[in-house]
Amino acid sequence: MSRIDQHPILTVPSDRKLVRFTFNDIELEGYEGEPVSSSLIAQDYKEFAIHQRGDTPQGLFCANGQCSHCTLIIDGLPQKSCVTPLKAGMQIRTLRHIAEIPEDNRPLSRHSKKEMTCDVLVIGGGPSGLTAALELAKLNFKVFLVDDKEKLGGKLLLQTHKFFGSIEDCYAGTRGIEIAQKLESELRSCANVQIFTNTTVVAVYKDQKVGLFINNRNYATVAFRGLIVAPGAREKSLIFNGNHLPGVFGAGAFQTLVNRDLVKASQRVFIVGSGNVGLIAAYHALQAGITVVGICDILEKVSGYKVHADKIQRMGVPLYLKHTVIATEGHNKVERVTIAAVDDNFQPLLETAQTFLVDTLLIAVGLTPVDEFFEMANKFGFTVVKAGDADEIAEASSAMFGGRIAARRLANLLGKAVTIDPSFTQKAEILKSRPGRIFPPAPVSLDENFQPIIRCHEEIPCNPCTSVCPVNAIQLRGDRNDLMDLPFYRGGCTGCMQCVLICPGLAITLARKIDEHFAEVVLPHEFLPTFNVGKSLALTDLSGNFLEDGEILKIRYIKKFKTHLVHVKTTLKNASQVAGIRVQPATDSQPLPQAKFEYLPDNGIVCHCELVTVKEIRDFIREHNIRDINQLKLIRVGMGACGGKNCSTLLPRIFREAGIDINTIAPGTKRPLSVEIPMSAIANEESEV
């Protein structure tokens, strides 16, 4: 059983109800209400479906209902297991090829038509949807907020790390899971807001109505005056040999399993992508007791914040820049991954290949806005705006401002004269800024009093350390006169350690001189300690290089921050360089002595629903001089259960390989429905809404 039974940040519920069910006639137990897919993965089942093409196994990818890889036969019907809650007595089977729908000739007996109205419908209960609904509620609109999950918060529910930004604007220094609770609590106190959780938007209709699948059981239409589209984003896939194997996850799916469902989804994981999503996923894996074998990125520079990358490296995770994944291989599941360096044209140098034994590969190579509802509503002439990742991919801190701005824009469009504070837009732009310049570290001279050593050397939007210091000992440099300025220590530290505790990047330590040879260093530690006072710890510098073994003097747990402060005794010469504690040994991330792989780039899957390869699509484009993406439907591209949402982001690359400019190609026609629901639900045949 692969469950997380203790965690440094998350509380493991003690009141979950165990229920029995069967999977392929094997009796199992899981927690009532958890996704079926999570229950199966917790019991080490990763193969969910057998595709009709080559009897190819398929497993979970998105854990968000955006694809069909996890479809199972549940009580006789094909259902996406990642959004189907587990119930006692369920009979679950592997989906083999194409599902047969059971015959049902019963006449309708309780058909009912359910219609509702509101002023504004908000699609999506993530950070932007929540702040948009709050802003509209304050403006006295009747608001419906719809989200397809059990709890509101969107990706905030997966973010156990502390937020960057500023305390006053976006809860900097507070963990995403706590921000979600604050926003939901505030919204539920608004009498003019009605919240629909476990509710999917089925479609947008021309008569200014939206269809809802409420509680995943019943159907209703909602008429509205204005619409805010904020459903977030879906993860991009990546093309390489073996990208279809069970065990290849989107990073968000992995975080969902680990942080929301408390499932230890892996023993050894490799990550592709060094943006903030990939770096944070690595940190979350380490906190869950999962070995992170490495992170690779095709670019020569880390895409995310340097403080995230530094933190991961000093915990023992290697970074491979200018590298790409060339294959995942194994018998019906991921068992090893091979990476290689790339040349200046991003082509792999096979002689540099390294193979690692893993059971999971995380894809963290970017997000695509879920903006189809906006496009459709805009086409129909609705009063509609979009917010959050549906508008522009950015940090959740920026999305919260985006929701407020979108709400006020919509209010104006609906005839209510409201102003939009110019600072909202300015702050939102700053919060979504890419990392800026990197500066050399300032020299440090220790004395007998504690002082902070700040390793935030890259311009990023963050300043909670300056806000919590009671004596203003930490200030921003003022090079830019905005949130991107670097913090610096100006003297006068009282040793309160608030800056160490609140720093989202764990980039601040406190240090003082003990005598002419030794010093005391205080390190933040967001793990369950596996060491005791009097023992020694492997201490590393900023980039993860081993410095020395330090003696543990004291361990304190600060409940408010869910962080341990570890006091260690070090040599004076290394004290200002000590930045962290190695969490996993270097031996855990070693490659095989010799690379073991087949390089078959043409076998990479582009359309996962129909298992159509790079070669099949490229050859078809060339042979038939394709000039309309819809023509690819002849070879089943985009005809699967996801409606072409996932493969559409990969097709530009294939057209380039075929020598055709994607901008000269007619775009594909998008399907009108966003999610499949049973006909009995549309008829409200099962029960009343």
Q: Per-residue pLDDT averaged across 647-660, rounded? A: 92
Chain centroid, CA 127 distance in Å: 13
Tokens of 467: 């806000």
Task: Give a yes or no: residue 263 inside a domain.
Answer: no
Element at 95 (helix H, strand E): strand 91-96
Q: Per-residue pLDDT averaged across 495-502, rounded? A: 97
CATH number, domain of 55, equals 3.10.20.440
Task: Give a yes or no: residue 402 inside a domain.
Answer: yes
Query: Do residues 456 and 579 both lie within one domain?
Result: yes
Query: Do residues 523 and 613 both lie within one domain?
Result: no
Q: Is the pLDDT of residue 673 over 70?
A: no
Strand 451-454: give its sheet, edge to edge. Answer: 451-454, 508-513, 518-525, 563-571, 546-558, 536-540, 580-581
Q: Tell me, what's the pLDDT at 107?
A: 77
Query: Do residues 557 and 612 both lie within one domain?
Result: no
Query: Do residues 419 and 470 both lie within one domain?
Result: no
Query: Which residues 6+ apart lie within 8 Å of 534 measured at CB?
Result: 551, 552
Task: Give a yes or no: residue 354 inside a domain.
Answer: no
Tokens of 282: 């690595």
3-state class (DSSP) for residue 377:
helix
pLDDT tens across 331-352, in order? 999 999 999 999 999 999 999 9
Domain-terminating residue out of 589, 624, 644 = 589
Cα–Cα distance for residue pair 88/31, rounded to 1 Å: 9
Q: Tell me, what's the pLDDT at 112?
A: 76
Task: Give a yes or no: residue 326 inside a domain.
Answer: no
The confidence band for 1, taking pLDDT boundaries of 50, 70 and 90, is low
CATH number, domain of 379, equals 3.50.50.60
Query: Do residues 501 and 546 both lie within one domain?
Result: yes
Cα–Cα distance for residue pair 432/288, rounded to 1 Å: 28
Task: Give a yes or no: residue 246 inside a domain.
Answer: no
pLDDT tens across 524-581, in order? 999 999 999 999 999 999 999 999 999 999 999 999 999 999 999 999 999 999 999 9
pLDDT tens across 608-631, in order? 999 999 999 999 999 999 999 999
Transcribe 468-497 into DSSP letters.
H-TT--EEE--SSSSTTSPEEE-S------
Task: Give a yes or no: residue 566 inside a domain.
Answer: yes
The confidence band for 324, taking pLDDT boundaries of 50, 70 and 90, is very high
Query: Do residues 423 and 498 both lie within one domain?
Result: no
Task: Give a yes or no: residue 32 inside a domain.
Answer: yes
Q: Is the pLDDT of residue 689 over 50?
A: no
Domain extent at residue 477: 451-589
Percent of the chain at pLDDT > 90 equals 85
CA-nearest of 261, 288, 262 to 85 is 261
Query: Do residues 547 and 475 both lie within one domain?
Result: yes
pLDDT tens across 424-467, in order? 889 899 999 999 999 999 899 999 999 999 999 999 999 999 99
CA distances from 262 to 5, 33, 41, 252 (A): 8, 13, 11, 14
10 torsion bin: left (phi>0), alpha (psi -120 to 50), beta (else): beta
Query: Do residues 636 and 490 both lie within one domain?
Result: no
Query: Do residues 473 and 566 both lie within one domain?
Result: yes
Tokens of 613: 């390869």
Quote the pTM value: 0.94
Query: Do residues 481 and 606 both lie within one domain?
Result: no
Q: Tell me, what's the pLDDT at 197?
A: 95
Q: Is the pLDDT of residue 104 over 50?
A: yes
Cα–Cα distance for residue pair 102/76, rounded to 1 Å: 7
The number of folded domains in the chain is 4
Query: Do residues 58 and 126 both lie within one domain?
Result: no
Tokens of 251: 């990073």
Q: At what angle do helices 396-413 and 422-431 cross, to 10 degrees?
A: 150
Q: Per-residue pLDDT averaged across 393-413, rounded? A: 93
Asked whether 421 and 135 are in contact (CB, 8 A), the reply is no
Task: Give a yes or no: residue 417 inside a domain.
Answer: yes
Tokens of 578: 């000590």
CA distances from 11 to 183, 262, 354, 562 (A): 20, 10, 38, 11
Work out the number of other CB atoms within 10 angstroms of the CB of residue 569. Answer: 16
pLDDT tens across 268-305, in order? 999 999 999 999 999 999 999 999 999 999 999 999 99
Query: Do residues 138 and 87 both lie within one domain?
Result: no
Residues constituting the chain: 689
CATH number, domain of 611, equals 1.10.10
Asked whether 174 and 163 are in contact (CB, 8 A), the reply is yes
Q: What are phi and psi of 650, to 5 degrees?
A: -95, -20
Mean pLDDT of the chain: 93
Tokens 């390793």 belong to residue: 455
